[in-house]
């Protein structure tokens, strides 16, 4: 599946729901989050944003946003944004904490709470391993 796309996001949500510790990973986090993959020509000509809300240990609702400005209307508790090439590196295994500390990954929201959830990073990593990923700038390529 091509990253970033609605199909890829749907596959990731399904893979997250198969992780037995998802509920524990989400515990204590505010209800919603937006992820922005910023345009990064020529690799990605148009940015993509995804918003999601969790409830009772599951992702209760999510959607691909038609316009990044919708984030302003939704006012999510967390917004994580970076150019496409940074997300590509993170999906290839680069450290997200290091990316955030270096400013390559921008995080808005209660950073202290997110840092406390860092031990549950394995939940997301396991889900990502389940999703076959083809990058937008690599014809037929897989991660």
* Residue 139 pLDDT: 64
**What is residue 120's predicted lDDT score, i.e. its pLDDT?**
94
* Surface-to-core class of residue 12, CB atoms within 10 Å of its CB (0-12 exposed, 13-18 middle, 19+ buried): buried
**Mean pLDDT for back-to-back runs of 10 residues, the chain (143 residues):** 95 98 94 95 93 96 91 94 96 88 92 87 94 85 40
Which token pair is 78? 């967390």
What token pair was written down for 136? 């937008």
pLDDT at 141: 42
| Side-chain half-sphere exposure of 79, counting CA atoms within 13 A | 16
Q: What pTM was estimated for this model as a whole?
A: 0.89
CB 91 within 8 A of CB 8: no
Please give the domain boundaries of the chain with CATH numbers for all domains: 2-135 (3.30.1050.10)
């Amino acid at each position: 599946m091509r990253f970033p796309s609605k199909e890829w996001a749907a596959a990731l949500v399904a893979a997250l729901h198969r992780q037995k510790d998802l509920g524990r990973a989400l515990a204590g986090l505010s209800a919603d989050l937006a992820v922005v993959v910023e345009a990064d020509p020529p690799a990605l000509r148009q940015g993509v944003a995804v918003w999601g809300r969790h409830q009772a240990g599951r992702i209760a609702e999510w959607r691909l946003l038609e316009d990044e400005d919708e984030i302003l209307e939704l006012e999510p508790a967390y917004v994580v944004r970076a150019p496409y090439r940074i997300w590509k590196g993170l999906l290839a295994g680069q450290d997200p904490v290091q990316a955030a500390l270096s400013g390559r990954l921008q995080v808005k929201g209660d950073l202290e709470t997110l840092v406390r959830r860092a031990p549950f990073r394995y939940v997301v990593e396991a889900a990502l391993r389940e999703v076959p990923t083809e990058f937008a700038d690599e014809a037929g390529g897989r991660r």
